[in-house]
Structure formats: C-alpha cells, structure tokens
Amino acid sequence: MPEQKARIACLLSGNGTTMSALLFQSRLPDCPYDIVLVASNNPDAPGLKIAAAEGIATFSHDHRGMDRREHEKIMDAALRKSGAEYLALCGYMRILTADFVKGWEGRMVNTHPSLLPKYKGLDTHQRAIEAGEDYGGCSVHVVTPELDGGPLLGQMPVAILPADTPESLAHRVILAEYQLYPRMVADYVGRHYRADWLLEKVRELAMGLPEAEERESHGAPGWRSGGKSGKYFAYLSEKHHGEPHIGLLVKTGGPDEVADLAETAPETYYRPAYYGASGWVGIILNRPGVDWDHVAEWLERSWRSVAPKRLTKLHDAADEF
C-alpha cells in the first residue's frame, strides 16, 4: 500500500451514482486512490451535492452557450489546480475533443455499458437484446480519442433474460458497473506500486539492451550480458532484507557514489543491504512519479560496465544511425 495515494478527479453531468461507487471504495482500507475533485458541466447536477456532503471539493461551469474548446479549457484548469493525476468519467455527457484527451493521455478512464468492442456509443442494451446476445455487460477502459475504443482494463458480463427490456437490463448492468469500475480504477492507478507491473517495465528496458539475458539470482530477477561468462548488470529487489522498497539495483562507480546518491536524493535512491558495499545502488520504483527515461539511462550505464567491448561498440554504432 503506497504512503501517497493517487489523486483522482471525477467528471459527471448527472446523479453521481458511479462517482459515489468510486468515492466509497476510496474510503475502504488499502484503496490506492483519493478523490480530490468532482467537476461538472451542469451546475445543478445532483452528483455535486453528494460530493460536497461527503467533504469532496466540487467545481462546475455550465457549457451552454460556450465554444466546446473554451469550456474544456476552463474545466481543465480546475482539474489541474486540484492536483488530480487521473480523471474518471462518471456519466459526463460531453464529447471530449482529441486535444483534451491527449492532455490526459493514459490518465483518463471510463466505464461503458457493453462488452466492448461490441455496441460502442448509445442504446447499447437495446442493440444487444435485438441482436439476440446471451450477455450484455460493462467494460472499463482507458480513454482515447476513438469513441469507446481505448485499451480495456476489465469487463463483467451480465446475462440477458428472456423477458428483458433495455430498462431491466440496464438496471442490472449498472449494478455490475458499481462493482467493476472502482476495482479497475484501483488496479490501474495503483499498478505503479505492484511488483509484477514494475518487473514488466524493468524487463522491457533491460531486455532491450544487446545480448541481455534474464536469469534469477538468489531468488530475485536479474539481467546479465555477455553470454555464458557474462556478468549481471541489474537486479529487481522486492523488499529484501526488510527494506521497504521495490528497487532496481544497478552498478555505480563505487561505494562513495552510492553513499552520495542515497544521502542527496533519498526519495529516489537507497543503499541496498549487502550490495551497497560492492557499489550497487537501489533506485526506488514503488513511488510516485518514477522517471523511466532516467531508469533506462541507469540500466544502460550499468550494462556498459559489464558488457564486452564488442557489444558496446556495436550499440554505439547503432545509436549513430
């Protein structure tokens, strides 16, 4: 559980029931996010009153009579002022421009009442029933400029009964959404603190280096280069020896550099048990705002310290083109 929770803003236009599902989830133990703002294009939206009663900051600005982009600028300014890192659409009945979506790329999520990619857009339940589907359902996805077309985070099927109408099916699908949306949002915004997600990020970067090979060492994932006689240039340490960190261990110039890094930037680096004395530093990964370009630079530097010269020469030559 991270010490600092992800900050989420919700956008809504109506009753705020989906927002409420996210809000009450945030009050449960170990939830990785807090809601810092509920914003609306409708100053009379009941969801704003619910949020205010629960002690959540609210903002509204009526879109009527305004240019779409000008309205989005006002909403965007309020969202950013709140410190929100992510946006959750909770029945926001406005089509967002590609520029707005791009400004929150990879950080905006939505729930849709169908099993995407089926039945994008409106009238999803009617269309599913008319098509003779056995199941309707809901999907949670990352928002992209393509309508209901972003990467899926999760889905929940809901059986269609013989006597179902669009209204009766919608009633059960919304109950499924109230379960699925908070769980998928929590998983998505909390992924940066999970060892499995961090391992995949490190693996992608490490295996992109010439002749890199992944091999476990003392129970930890490690990467080496140079074939059978190769040496390790990185390890992933998951809270080993009582440390609170999930860290990437990389080689430095020696113990003095390790001590300097750990002292001057303790929010980023630490001196790992046993390895620190040998000139390895730990880069803390389970924290907000990891600079993955910086991590990649450290991996390459560490790789260069152990890779055969033939590989570094080839790598440098490839970089020139």
Q: Which residues are catalytic?
A: 112
Burial zone of 43 (CB within 10 Å; 0-12 exposed, 13-18 middle, 19+ buried): exposed
What distance in Å separates the CA atoms of residue 296 and residue 231, rounded to the nearest whole number? 18
Q: Are 146 and 120 in contact (CB under 8 A)?
A: no
- Alpha helices for 237-291 (secondary structure H): 255-264
Q: Are 122 and 107 in contact (CB under 8 A)?
A: no
Cα pseudo-dihedral 184, 190, 195, 198, rounded to 10: 100
Q: Which residue pairs from 281-284 have beta carbons closer than 8 angstroms and sit at least 24 positions apart in sequence? A: 281/249, 281/250, 281/252, 281/257, 282/237, 282/243, 282/245, 282/247, 282/248, 282/249, 283/247, 283/248, 283/249, 283/250, 284/245, 284/246, 284/247
Q: Are strands 33-40 and 58-60 parallel, antiparallel or unpaired?
A: parallel
Question: What are the residues whose beta carbons fall under 8 Å from the beta carbon of 165, sequence distance 6 or more?
Answer: 129
What distance in Å separates the CA atoms of residue 28 and residue 86, rounded to the nearest whole number? 19
Q: Is the peptide bond before 117 cis (omega within 30 degrees of 0)?
A: yes
What distance in Å separates the CA atoms of residue 202 and residue 235, rounded to the nearest whole number? 9
What H or E segment, with its residue span, contains residue 314? helix 309-320
